[in-house]
Amino acid sequence: MPSFQTPASTQPASAIALPELLAPAGNWDCAKAAVENGADAIYFGLDRFNARMRANNFTEADLPELMAFLHRRGVKGYITLNTLIFTAELPEIEQYLRTVIAAGVDAAIVQDIGLCRLIRALSPDFPIHASTQMTVTSAAGVAFAQGLGCQLVVLARETSIKEINRIQQQLSDRAIAMPLEVFVHGALCVAYSGQCLTSEALGGRSANRGECAQACRMTYDLIADGQPVDVGDRQYLLSPQDLSGLPVLTDLIAAGVSCLKIEGRLKAPEYVANVTQVYRRALDQVAAQLAIATATPQRYVPTDDERYRLEMAFSRGLYTGWFEGIDNQALVHARFGKKRGVLLGQVKSIKPDGITLELQAPVKPGDGVVFDNGHPAAKEEGGRVYGVQRQGRTTLLTFGRRDVNLNRLNVGDYVWKTSDPELDKTVRQSYAGETPQFQQPITVEIYGAVDEPLTAIARDPQGHIAQAESAMPLVSAHSQPLTTDKLTQQFSRLGNTPFRLDALTNHVEGDVMLPVSELNRLRRSLVESLETQRSRPRIWQLAEPAQLPTLLPEPEQPPTRQPELIALVRNQAQLAAAIATEVSTFYCELENPAAYKDLVEWFRHNRRTEAQTIWVAPPRITKPLENYILEQVARSQADGYLIRNYDHLAWFRDLPCIGDFSLNVANPLTAAYFKAQYGLERLTASYDLNIDQLESLLQGSPAHWYEITLHQHMPMFHMEHCVFCAFLSDGKDFRDCGRPCETQTVTLRDRTGTEHVLQADAGCRNTLYNGVAQTGAEYAQRLITAGARQFRIEFLNESPQQVSQTLRHYQQLLSGELSGAKLWKKLQLQSKLGVTRGPMDKDQR
């Protein structure tokens, strides 16, 4: 049994509600596994518009049967529509949504802001859940989602329990009531969801479109000041351990979290069943403790069996992620990036028929193991255990002939248990067959008196109610009357149904009797009525067709102006080179926002003309208690601000603002919302768009709303994880790391030999930039023809001379003096790394 330790909250137990348990379902077997092991709800994708396109997703034709099955079992079903939507897809997704809403789906999990608008136009009451892909990290983000019509917000995985409590307090102060959901278990993305452009940058496969290539699970070499850093066997620098929120379960409940979400729509049904069952039992244990507690709720302590089961389900190591704050040493152990399981120990000796080790976990014949010598990318030895023999403090494991090549093993190799067939069998039995194995509670009330029929009323947790009356009146009982115990015995016989009797209240007057057969009929009638009611689809309001045209922006006559360049620089030397050119608008992004004030003053004393303006960029993420950074930015009194998140929208609302790429503007509905609600002067088109999709965006809304980033080092990973701290110090966070980010230049070298540039920001968050610049020069004329007039050139670590040369080349491109093909060649000669056409190239998709 689990135990409970230190108090987790000062909130009284009676005020704490148990959160919903939300499980993943990539297919029918997974859905059944979740239902039979106690999930309150499942989330699933269809064959399009979801962030797990590699899953065996359901189809539209599956929806009626799936929702009937879930609702009959008292489980909700949420559809994942958590990707960006492109302009040409809007008519199709309107029809898609009509099917979803009409099928009685309980909610849609949504990333795209334009899609939220379309859903709300189609249905005023269909629930929208703001996906973690919306990157909500603060009360301002929750308020933004509420303004879109969302009914629940999934917080970013990087949000700690302390920050959740702070957000809840700020929401309360602002009289905002919004349920909050968090991921409680499963794989952790190292980058902020919705802000990862790695797959897009390296292969034209957008994580914002469900095509993540998992570059975070690859090996990287750490290069500091031009020299390789010896990190031993820690080569998986960006691969976090898997999340397990079980040790902080009571803290999450005390923080008022409304829903706990298990990651894993690409996982097998055994994983879904196993993890769901562990968390269901743990929640029920907490509920029992809260029900009897006379003091504050106590911290949940997982059992050895619970941890074993979670590790065997799938584990790269289990850790509480960011829930307990930042510990960069613990988050990423960096030894491997794939499933391991349970650590059995290390090889002590190698025998002719096996190996010895000091066991740290149970093992038995038939279990599968793998030997880890610190090179997980290479072929590893592994196989089934044949025999287990205790030899004092050590244990001899033997293997079948030719199962394991013992000559390839070394003393000191780690031994991981990767398979437990007995556990797998037990887990599969939990959802095998057609008979419901997880039953939901119902209550029954019994009424009656002599010469009146017996009336039975049943209620389920979802609010359904069923009533049945006996076909004959009650008669006086001279012996064996219908006592509460007898009625409870008869109405609890619910073995083949989705129900179990939680409580029976007997209101029968006097000693009466009724045949057992009639009691059985009443029980069956109640069950049938409840099942029928639960199977009916939810009825949401649904508007008539042709809602989309009413949301699209009206055409506008574009201003007559020549195409112009905008330069984004990252230091004063680059800015000095840029202001000497014909460019008039400059964006500046410094690591330390406190330096903006001096830089802006320097710029105004040194700019070439009064027409040149400087805009500054706050950090991409804003957490609770980080408004002091925004104050530093505002004190610069720049000509305007680059808006990157929801806090920026609120903080700089009455000042000149331009929306950056991180707002993920991919269609006219999203663009129109930011223009109308926040008055942004321009919007940076999403980096997920190729040339055809960019043209559609420009043609589907006023083209002068947008600026296009024509040249840049793509910001691939944007992370709470600090590589500087984790691998160039022994510290946990900024308080004890010694700030190596301020003294060392760091790159991460991938398997192709490309060195990607790592930079830190004011919040100690890291961005890994593509070491190869990309250009859309060859598409500039098409974009100009489509109406685009503002083109951004972003610099990273280029020299002042490279800044001057690059801007001069692009000015020639926009004036027609230089073709895109010739500029491409000049850039290749200019940069020792060359350039790539990037995701704007339609052929990369």
662 touches 195 (CB < 8 A) = yes
Mean pLDDT, all residues of the chain: 92
Q: Per the structure block, which two tokens stand in for 357?
A: 């080790």
For helices 800-815 and 572-579, the axis angle rounded to 10 degrees is: 40
pLDDT confidence of residue 6:
41
Give the 3-state secondary structure of 243-306: EECHHHHHHHHHCCCCEEEECCCCCCHHHHHHHHHHHHHHHHHHHHHHHHCCCCCEEEECCHHH
- Cβ burial of 187 (10 Å; 0-12, 13-18, 19+) is buried
pLDDT at 296 over 80: no
Percentage of the chain surpassing pLDDT 70?
A: 93
Assign 329 a pLDDT band (cuts: 50, 70, 90).
very high
Q: Is 308 left (phi over 0), alpha (psi -120 to 50) or beta?
A: alpha
pLDDT at 640 over 60: yes
Residue range 718-725: mean pLDDT, rounded: 96
Query: In this structure, are 425 and 444 located in the same domain?
Result: no
* Domain at 612, CATH number: 3.20.20.70
pLDDT digits 0-9 by tens, 66-86: 999 999 999 999 999 999 999
Q: Do residues 632 and 778 share a domain?
A: yes
The pLDDT value recorded for residue 294 is 56
pLDDT tens string 338-379: 999 999 999 999 999 899 999 999 999 999 999 999 888 889
**Alpha-helical segments (H) within 295-420:** 304-313, 328-331
Task: List the beta strands (DSSP E) in 474-548.
Answer: 475-476, 499-508, 512-513
Q: What is the pLDDT of residue 177?
A: 95
Residues 510 and 390 in one domain: no
Asked if 160 and 40 sit in the same domain, the reply is yes
Residue 136's domain comprises 3-203+242-300
Of 11-25, 434-448, 586-600, 804-818, where does mean pLDDT reach its minimum? 11-25
Q: By the 8 A CB rule, do 436 and 365 touch?
A: no
Could you tell me the pLDDT band of residue 7, with boundaries at 50, 70 and 90? very low
Rounded Cα distance, 412 and 358, in Å: 11
pLDDT of residue 12: 46
Residue 684 corresponds to which tokens in the numbers above?
A: 């940076």
Q: What integer pLDDT is reported at residue 50 of this predicted model?
A: 64
In the structure, what pLDDT confidence band is assigned to residue 47 with cuts at 50, 70 and 90? confident
Q: Is the same domain home to 653 and 802?
A: yes
91 inside domain: yes
What is the per-residue pLDDT for 479? 87
| Pair (424, 451) in one structural domain | no
Q: Is residue 227 part of a domain?
A: no
Instruction: Give the pLDDT confidence of 388-444 residue by residue, as tens digits.
Output: 999 989 999 999 888 899 999 999 999 999 999 999 999 999 999 999 999 999 999
Q: How far apart are CA 276 and CA 75, in angstroms?
A: 13
Indicate if 449 and 386 belong to the same structural domain.
no
Instruction: Examine residue 816 and state whether it is found in any structural domain, yes or no.
Output: yes
Whether residue 470 is predicted with pLDDT greater than 90 in this model: the reply is yes
Same domain? 642 vs 790: yes
Of 406, 429, 452, the residue that ends a domain is 429
Predicted confidence at residue 547, as pLDDT, reads 76
Mean pLDDT of 125-148: 97
349: domain CATH number is 2.40.10
Count of domains in the chain?
A: 4
170 and 283 fall within a common domain: yes
Specify the pLDDT at position 825.
Answer: 83
CA dihedral for 769, 772, 773, 775, sign (positive or negative): negative
- At 150, give phi and psi (nearest 5°): -80, 150
**Structure-token match 């706990």, residue found:** 260
Residue 298 has what pLDDT? 78
Q: Is the pLDDT of residue 9 over 50?
A: no
Could you read off the pLDDT of 199-256 as tens digits, one per residue?
676 766 666 666 677 888 999 999 999 999 999 989 999 999 999 999 999 999 999 9
The answer to whether the CB of 752 falls within 8 A of the CB of 355 is no
Q: Which residue has the tokens 């099942």?
A: 531
pLDDT at 54: 57
The rounded distance, in Å, linking the Cα atoms of 581 and 701 is 32
Cα 784–chain centre separation: 37
| Amino acid 768: pLDDT | 96
Query: Does the pLDDT at position 157 exceed 80?
Result: yes
The string of DSSP letters for 95-158 reads HHHHHHHHTT-SEEEE--HHHHHHHHHH-SSS-EEE-GGG---SHHHHHHHHHHT-SEEE--TT
Same domain for 277 and 412, yes or no, is no
Q: Angle at the Cα of 47 (from 45 to 49), degrees rounded to 5?
A: 70
Assess whether 161 and 196 both reside in one domain: yes
Using one digit for the tens of pLDDT, what is the confidence trace for 174-194? 999 999 999 999 999 999 998
Which residues does residue 708 pair with via DSSP β-bridges, in sequence order?
791
The pTM assigned to this predicted structure is: 0.93
Tell me how far apart the alpha carbons of residues 661 and 682 are, in angstroms, rounded to a whole number.
11
Q: What is the pLDDT of residue 13?
A: 47
Residue 367: inside a domain:
yes
Q: Closest Cα partner for 640 from 600, 595, 686?
A: 600
Q: Is residue 104 part of a domain?
A: yes
Weakest-pLDDT range from 123-132, 195-204, 230-239, 329-338: 195-204
What does the block give as tokens for 677? 């609600």
Higher pLDDT: 841 or 666? It is: 666
Residue 736 within any structural domain of the chain: no
Which residue type does 16 have?
Answer: I
Distance of CA 640 to the CA centre of its chain: 32
Res 844: pLDDT:
46
Query: What confidence tens digit (pLDDT) does each residue in 246-295 have?
Result: 999 999 999 999 999 999 988 999 999 999 999 999 999 998 888 775 55
In this prediction, residue 11 has a pLDDT band, given cuts at 50, 70 and 90, of very low
| pLDDT attached to residue 5 | 52
DSSP run (H or E) holding 67? helix 63-72
pLDDT of 537-588, one tens digit each? 899 999 988 778 888 888 777 777 899 999 999 999 999 999 999 999 999 9
> Among residues 619, 608, 617, 678, which one has the least CA distance to residue 650?
678
Residue where a domain terminates, one of 395, 429, 463: 429
- CATH number for 157: 3.20.20.380
Q: What residues pair up with 347 in beta bridges, in sequence order?
A: 357
In a domain, 542, yes or no: no
